[in-house]
Chain A
Amino acid sequence: MPDQLKVRLVTPDRILVDQTVEAVEVPGKNGYFEVLYGAAPLLSEIGAGEVRLHGGEAGDRRYSVARGFVEVLPERVTILAEEAEKPQDIDTAAAQQQLQHGEKLWSEAGEDPEKYAHANEVMREAEARLESAGEKG
């Protein structure tokens, strides 16, 4: 099909996804957005959340990602993420632990804005992972 979007999800270790889809949802830092074929070029940071692929050959797929950015071109989307995993691979216990660690950081942050932001970041990532692990299937 001519109006298919090429999606690539790249992590520091390997290229996780390289396929064509009809649409992809990306967790931008300022909120989720969906990209279709022919989108305007865009560059954005991504926050913790899920990349959702729609209408691919292997059906819909989801990946939990954190920390990275995305480049959107009319016929190609490339997502760079430091962390990316399938929902079924998420270690919920570890995520829970991370959440607790984040809460601890948060309560210890005092009045240091830098630490505050860091703690929030940790917690957001853990929550996003838990959430995406929760809605399996």
Chain B
Amino acid sequence: MANVLDLRRRIRSVRNTRQITKAMKMVAAAKLRRAQERAVSARPYAAMLASVLESLKRRAEIYDPETGECRHPLLLTRPEKRILLVVVSGDKGFAGAFNTNIFKAAANFILENGDKEIDIEAIGRKGRDLFRRRYPAAQFTGNNEEDQRPERQQRSSAVEVLAGPTAALEKIDYDAVREVAEEIIGLYTHEQIDAAYLVYNEFKSVIQQRVVVERVLPILSLTIHEIEKAEEPTLEERERAAEAALSAGVSLYPHEAEAAQKQLEDEAKNFGTAEVDYIYEQPPAEIFADVLPRYVTSQLYHATLESIAAEHAARMTAMDSATNNASDMIDSLTLTMNRVRQAAITKEIIEIVSGAAAI
């Protein structure tokens, strides 16, 4: 049986660990609050963009009245042979099953589409590292003579990885996301891919998060996000998250000013849809063509912000569990230590008593 000194050492070590996990939890909670604010304040723009597109769609003749052909390349659908998969993961670990869930969803997607060629673009360091280890990088050589775009070399595998953005997620801004979006749009309009999907962690609130697979291109519907698949957390996981949030002082339903926010969002939805005849400075079709790429960017940006918030929420929950586990461990170790000490004392007394009795 372990002696008292050993147990005391272990308790001290666990206590140190608990301190660290507790600090990490608090840091995650603080970052979560900031990320939440960012995600929420980005909503009006996205909503306005979607609604202006919706109203333009009715006026701009997207389909050629005579030939029935689609006028904008981003709306064209082709049989899906080559797919681009954008995976938004976290930059760091220690966030429970956050990254694993994302990878699982991505891996499932790849399995289900095993007969197609898939390119992966990873946002977030964890995902980038994983997919680079697993799949070969896409090779490009020189420039295509016709349109000056880099030409793709022969594929060495059905799944290949593209060079994604390298900026840290924490600092990612709209410009970085725009570059990614422009690349995706470029690939799509030049028919190097036939569809683009997005895998990310959606963040509704601390207790409501899910991994979703969403179609970005081609754009089929403007107002609804085209979610292919979603995985909801279990009730148990939600309860854990709620507990963690409570102890870290994060409100479950962010923004007490939710009513004001709601009103703002409602107004945002009405942007550009008033029942009046607008004067269009540019032909509607032209505005429409300009707005579409922005819509894709905004979707991608939205996904990134949500994923960042979800990552912090996941880390907070995981660290709260770790702290609780450490506390439990300290309790049980202390109990054992006291028992061992008591046993030693009892043994000594018995020895003394029986020694005295023998005299």
The answer, yes or no, to whether A117 is at the interface (CB within 8 Å) is: no
Q: Tell whether, in the assembled complex, residue B276 and residue A73 are in contact, meaning their CB atoms are under 8 Å apart.
A: yes
A13 and B280 in contact, given A73-B274, A82-B178 (Cβ under 8 angstroms): no
Interfacial chain B residues near A112, Cβ < 8 Å: 147-148
Q: Which of A35-43, A48-56, A85-93 contacts its partner?
A: A35-43
Complex alpha-carbon distance, A11 and B178, angstroms: 14
The answer, yes or no, to whether A120 is at the interface (CB within 8 Å) is: no
Q: A11, A43, A45, A69: which has the most chain B beta carbons within 10 Å?
A: A43
Q: A35: shortest Cβ distance to chain B, in Å?
A: 12
Complex alpha-carbon distance, A80 and B281, angstroms: 15
Q: Which of B87-95, B250-258, B290-298 contacts its partner?
A: B290-298
Interfacial chain B residues near A15, Cβ < 8 Å: 41, 44, 264
Q: A12, A40, A45: which has the most chain B beta carbons within 10 Å?
A: A12
Q: Tell whether, in the assembled complex, residue A45 and residue B290 are in contact, meaning their CB atoms are under 8 Å apart.
A: yes
Q: Tell whether, in the assembled complex, residue B281 and residue A30 are in contact, meaning their CB atoms are under 8 Å apart.
A: yes
Interfacial chain B residues near A45, Cβ < 8 Å: 281-282, 286-287, 290
Closest residue of A by beta carbon distance from B279 = A42
Q: Which of B178, B272, B277, B282 contacts A30, CB < 8 Å?
A: B282
Complex alpha-carbon distance, A42 and B281, angstroms: 7
Which secondary structure dominates where chain B touches chain A? helix
Interfacial chain B residues near A42, Cβ < 8 Å: 278-281
- Interface size for A (C-beta < 8 A) is 26
Closest residue of B by beta carbon distance from A81 = B45
Q: B152: shortest Cβ distance to chain A, in Å?
A: 19
The answer, yes or no, to whether A96 is at the interface (CB within 8 Å) is: no
Q: Tell whether, in the assembled complex, residue B42 and residue A12 are in contact, meaning their CB atoms are under 8 Å apart.
A: yes
Complex alpha-carbon distance, A67 and B274, angstroms: 23
> For window 51-91 of chain A, which residues contact chain B by CB distance below 8 Å?
67, 69, 71, 73, 78, 80, 82-83
Q: Tell whether, in the assembled complex, residue B280 and residue A78 are in contact, meaning their CB atoms are under 8 Å apart.
A: no
Interfacial chain A residues near B42, Cβ < 8 Å: 12-14
Contact indicator per residue, chain A 1-29, by CB within 8 Å of chain B (1) or not (0): 00000000011111100000000000011
Interfacial chain B residues near A82, Cβ < 8 Å: 174, 178, 294
The answer, yes or no, to whether B241 is at the interface (CB within 8 Å) is: no
Closest residue of B by beta carbon distance from A42 = B279
Q: B130: shortest Cβ distance to chain A, in Å?
A: 29
Interfacial chain B residues near A71, Cβ < 8 Å: 52, 271-272, 278
Closest residue of B by beta carbon distance from A11 = B45
Q: Tell whether, in the assembled complex, residue B276 and residue A69 are in contact, meaning their CB atoms are under 8 Å apart.
A: no
Q: Tell whether, in the assembled complex, residue B45 and residue A43 are in contact, meaning their CB atoms are under 8 Å apart.
A: no
Complex alpha-carbon distance, A40 and B48, angstroms: 20
> For window 39-55 of chain B, which residues contact chain A by CB distance below 8 Å?
41-42, 44-46, 48-49, 52
The answer, yes or no, to whether B188 is at the interface (CB within 8 Å) is: no
The answer, yes or no, to whether B38 is at the interface (CB within 8 Å) is: yes
Q: Tell whether, in the assembled complex, residue B281 and residue A44 are in contact, meaning their CB atoms are under 8 Å apart.
A: yes
Q: Which of B45, B148, B276 contacts A80, CB < 8 Å?
A: B45
Closest residue of A by beta carbon distance from B173 = A13
Interfacial chain A residues near B294, Cβ < 8 Å: 67, 82
Q: Tell whether, in the assembled complex, residue A44 and residue B48 are in contact, meaning their CB atoms are under 8 Å apart.
A: no
Complex alpha-carbon distance, A43 and B44, angstroms: 18
Q: Tell whether, in the assembled complex, residue B174 and residue A43 are in contact, meaning their CB atoms are under 8 Å apart.
A: no
Q: A28, A82, A112: which has the most chain B beta carbons within 10 Å?
A: A82
A12 and B45 in contact, given A43-B272, A45-B290 (Cβ under 8 angstroms): yes
The answer, yes or no, to whether B301 is at the interface (CB within 8 Å) is: yes
The answer, yes or no, to whether A104 is at the interface (CB within 8 Å) is: no
Contact indicator per residue, chain B 52-67, by CB within 8 Å of chain A (1) or not (0): 1000000000000000
Complex alpha-carbon distance, A78 and B264, angstroms: 12
The answer, yes or no, to whether A101 is at the interface (CB within 8 Å) is: no
Q: Residues of A with Cβ closer than 8 Å to B? A: 10-15, 28-30, 40-45, 67, 69, 71, 73, 78, 80, 82-83, 110, 112, 115
Query: 19 A-B pairs, CB-CB below 8 angstroms?
Result: A10-B48, A11-B45, A12-B301, A13-B38, A13-B42, A15-B264, A28-B281, A29-B282, A41-B274, A41-B279, A42-B280, A43-B272, A44-B281, A45-B282, A69-B52, A69-B291, A71-B278, A73-B274, A115-B148
